[in-house]
Amino acid sequence: MMIPKSRSRFYRVGLLAIILWLFVLYSALSSGIIAAQNTASPANDVAEAARVLTALNGWRIEQGLSPFQPDATLERMAVDQAAYILSLPQIPAGGAIHNGRSGESVRERAVRSPYNWSSYGINPAIGEIAYVGANVSAAVRFWRGSDIHNRTAMNSWYRQIGIAALPHRLGFIYIVVVGSQPNVLPAIADPANNRLYLTNDRFTSGTATWIQTATQVRLFDALGRPLQRDWTPWQPVLPLPQGVGDRLFVMYSDGTFFTMTEVALDTWLVPQTVSATTVAGLPPTPIPTATSLARANVTPTPLPPTPTPITQNVVVQPTAQQTAVASSGEPNVMLIYSARTLTLQNISAAPLAVREIILRGGGVNLPVTFWDTQWLSGSLDALAPRDCLQVWAWTEASALPQEPACRQRRGVINVAPDRLFWRSNDIEVVWRNTTLAICTIAQTTCAFRVPNLNDLQAGGATSQ
């Protein structure tokens, strides 16, 4: 059978098109596979990296230095560099192991995308050590014996760390990146030895906008409740507070700037056996526990926010029942408040039960029971005449003065700055699920009456 030339030409063109399409598909698939192979980083051996961290932190504690805090960005840098070294035909000799894919140094890599490591002005605080060999013991032995590696690992400027441990035919490729950032002061818990290691910033500058050489700290439990009455001087090691939950918060201050750090209490970052003789500055007075503190609904914030301007002037009209209860007799409680603090005072001539009062606004509740801490002097069931309770933000550098009208300040609590709800919201005063008063943000004082037995009979309030 003869095929016409026109149809024969059509078959040839069609066959060539199919072959070309298959070639393009194969190329695309091959390129995708190769690209995936080139971009996928080998998995980091997390357990081996943890052993490196424990060994380095134990070494630093021996030298009287604070332990390292793991950092996700530095770990990514370490893993990426280790993966690059692993992809080479042979391990580079000497310091060349620290050169990146384009020959850049660790400092150059740190400030570029995707790492974007924060710098002190134009100077990134970053360093790197490496080892290729059998295990952690061999790596640490090498670093201890090398002056340049020793000085990097034991540099007091560095507070954070990222570790890569990628399997290699000789054992592992270990890349360790250490560094620090402005306003990042970790604190490391040692539950086995009941210690809390603090860090500090050694990078000082006359025009710095970051915390420099912290001089005082405050501790808060997992719910944000203060564990100290006031600031305590910075020390390298503090006793680890007990009964605070699965975490705590440490606020550092140099008198001008503040920074907050979260401390996990269920993570082991240091060896479980550390000689007490290697730890300097352990204070004799223990930090109070949280078992006797009232439960607070506050959330710590890393840095104190700018105070919110008071611009609202919203007046909420009370209901008939609220008016009846609030107007039953002379006021016996006064609220005095500003953008920084709030005071609750007994303005009657007799002791007053204030325990059941709740202040609320903007979705925040502030029960008077929050003052029922180990530092309360007196009783919330019998607050003495003219005595008061006060609250302010924990970001205040020192204790605020009490109101002149207050005879004696019986209790103080501190909350997160965003919990000073009266700066931008009216205060609803609640007692036994009944609103006693609405104190507007336009006021600076607000008086109301906590009902007594006669008020209950006259006003019809019910106890629940």
- What pLDDT was estimated at residue 161? 96
Where helices occur in 95-254 by DSSP H, the ranges are 106-111, 136-145, 147-153
Q: Which residue has the higher pLDDT, 171 or 456?
A: 171
pLDDT band at 223, cuts 50/70/90? Answer: confident
Task: Order across the sheet with 171-180: list the strands.
Answer: 69-70, 160-168, 171-180, 125-133
Per-residue pLDDT tens digits for 170-196 = 999 999 999 999 889 999 999 888 999
Q: How confident is the model at residue 290 (pLDDT cuts 50, 70, 90)?
A: very low
Task: Examine the pLDDT at 460 and tell me if it is beyond 60.
Answer: no
Q: How far apart are CA 230 and CA 174, in angstroms?
A: 44
| CATH 3.40.33.10 intervals, the chain | 46-179
Q: What is the pLDDT of residue 273?
A: 60
Count of CA atoms in the C-beta half-sphere (13 A) of 245? 17
Which position has the token pair 């906590």?
A: 450
Give residue-wise pLDDT tens across range 79-89: 999 999 999 99
Specify the pLDDT at position 204. Answer: 65
Instruction: Report the alpha-carbon angle 380-386-389, nearest 5.
Output: 45
pLDDT single digits (tens) 145-156: 999 999 999 999
Q: pTM of this prediction?
A: 0.58
- Tell me the torsion sign for CA atoms 352, 355, 357, 363: positive
Helix (H, G, I), strand (E, B) or coil at 439: strand
| Other beta carbons within 10 Å of 191 | 16
Q: How far apart are CA 412 and CA 360, in angstroms?
A: 18
DSSP state of 327: T
End-to-end CA distance of the chain: 103
Domain 46-179, CATH among 3.90.170.10, 3.40.50.720, 3.20.80.10, 3.40.33.10: 3.40.33.10
> Contact 250/240 with Cβ under 8 angstroms?
no
The band of 22, judged by pLDDT with boundaries at 50, 70 and 90, is: low
Give the span between the Cα atoms of 203 and 121, in whole angstroms.
Answer: 11
Closest CA to 199 of 230, 238, 242: 238
Q: How confident is the model at residue 456 (pLDDT cuts 50, 70, 90)?
A: very low
Q: Closest Cα partner for 259 from 282, 294, 234? A: 234
Mean of pLDDT values over 278-286:
41
Average pLDDT on 61-87 reads: 94
Identity (one letter) of the amino acid at 316?
V
For residues 270-295, average pLDDT: 44
CA distance 74 to 349: 63
- Give the per-residue pLDDT at 135: 94
**Per-residue pLDDT, 358:** 95
The CATH code for residues 187-264 is: 2.60.40
CA proximity to 52, closest of 210, 178, 156 = 178
197-201, 205-209, 211-215, 266-270: range with lowest mean pLDDT: 205-209
Top pLDDT among 39 and 412 is at 412
Region 311-315 average pLDDT: 27
For CATH 2.60.40, the residue range(s) in the chain are 187-264
Q: Could you give the percent of the chain with pLDDT greater than 90?
A: 45
Instruction: Compute the average pLDDT of residues 316-331.
Output: 43
| Cα(176)–Cα(184) distance, integer angstroms | 19
Give the span between the Cα atoms of 36 and 187, in whole angstroms.
Answer: 39
7 has pLDDT over 60: no
- Locate 121 and state its tokens: 């002005």
pLDDT confidence bin for 29, thresholds 50/70/90: very low
Does the pLDDT of residue 416 top 50, yes or no? yes
pLDDT score at 93: 87
Cβ partners under 8 Å of residue 15, min gap 6: none
Residue ranges of E strands in 42-157: 69-70, 125-133
pLDDT at position 42 is: 74
- Token pair recorded at residue 377: 């002097």
- For residue 414, list its beta bridge partners: 392
CA distance 205 to 209: 9
Residue with tokens 């424990």: 54
pLDDT at 255: 84
Q: Over 50: is that where the pLDDT of 66 sits?
A: yes
* pLDDT at residue 421 tops 70: yes
